[in-house]
Each structure stands twice: as structure tokens, then as C-alpha cells.
Amino acid sequence: MATTDLSAYQKEHLPDARSMRIGIVVSEWNENITENLRKGCVDALIDCGVGQQNILIAHVPGSFELPLGAQLLFENKSLDAVICLGCIIRGETAHFDFVSQACAHGVQTLSLKLGKPVIFGVLTDDTVEQSISRSGGSKGNKGVEAAITAIKMAGLKRELENNW
């Protein structure tokens, strides 16, 4: 478990993101958390050079729907990466396990199928307090981390396509 803010980044070590087109799919479930993730994600993308006009945001009902939301964005828009943002908090039933596993597997499968970065920015926490601390609180903002991951992976894809 992360014990420090892992959201710090150094722009000078990132690929040039000025022409990148990034999609963000945001779960409406636990909206108070996911909107903090979205804000951190968008702010980091813009800070790293992605133009606001090159950021496309779509909302889906819950984290289970994130992979399909990402697929729909790729099918309908020319994007370098899609970031999936969600928050799944453990409850008293096995629902947490099913949704978490399905979401993670769906994101991974889509990324491998399309050969494009689909980023898993989904909190899977035991408590609301843990989610708050990871969406702009004491543990940073997973939305920022997802943005940086998207830039790095889109940059890697471009580099390999252009230099090999």
C-alpha cells in the first residue's frame, strides 16, 4: 500500500504531449471521488502540454462500464490513449471483487486488443477515507498518475512507430 504521495512528476522527463489526443472515461458512481480524479487528470494533462481541445471526457454509470466506454471513444474518435477513472469501495458482499476484477480485466483486454494505451485509473479501496486520500488527499491523486501514464505510453507507441 502506498504510504506517500506518488503523484509527483517531472515534465522534462515526459514525452512531448502537445499534439496528443487523450480520452477520459469517468465513472459516475462515487462521483465525489471520481470528479476529483477527473480534475487531477485534466490538470496534469494540461500542465504537461496536452491542449484542452485535445481532451475528450465521457461519463459512464459505473466502473464496470469503463472498458466499453473506452472502446466507444476509440471507435468514434482518433485518440492516442484513453484513461479510465473510477472508484470501487469494498462493501459487505462479493460485488466489490466481481466489479474490480471485471473492470481491470476489461481495461487490460481492450488495451491489448487495440494495441493502444488504455489506462487503469480506478481506485479499489476498503474505505471511503482511503479513496479520499488517493483522489487529491494525503496520498496524492490517482488521476494525476493516470494522466502521466497515458502520456508515457502514448509517447512510447509514437516513438516505436516512428523510429523502427
Tell me which residues are annotated as active site: 95
With a CB cutoff of 8 Å and minimum separation 6, the contacts of 85 are: 24, 25, 26, 27, 34, 37, 38, 41, 66, 121, 122, 142, 143, 146
Helix (H, G, I), strand (E, B) or coil at 14: coil
∠ CA(43), CA(47), CA(49), 5° rounding? 120
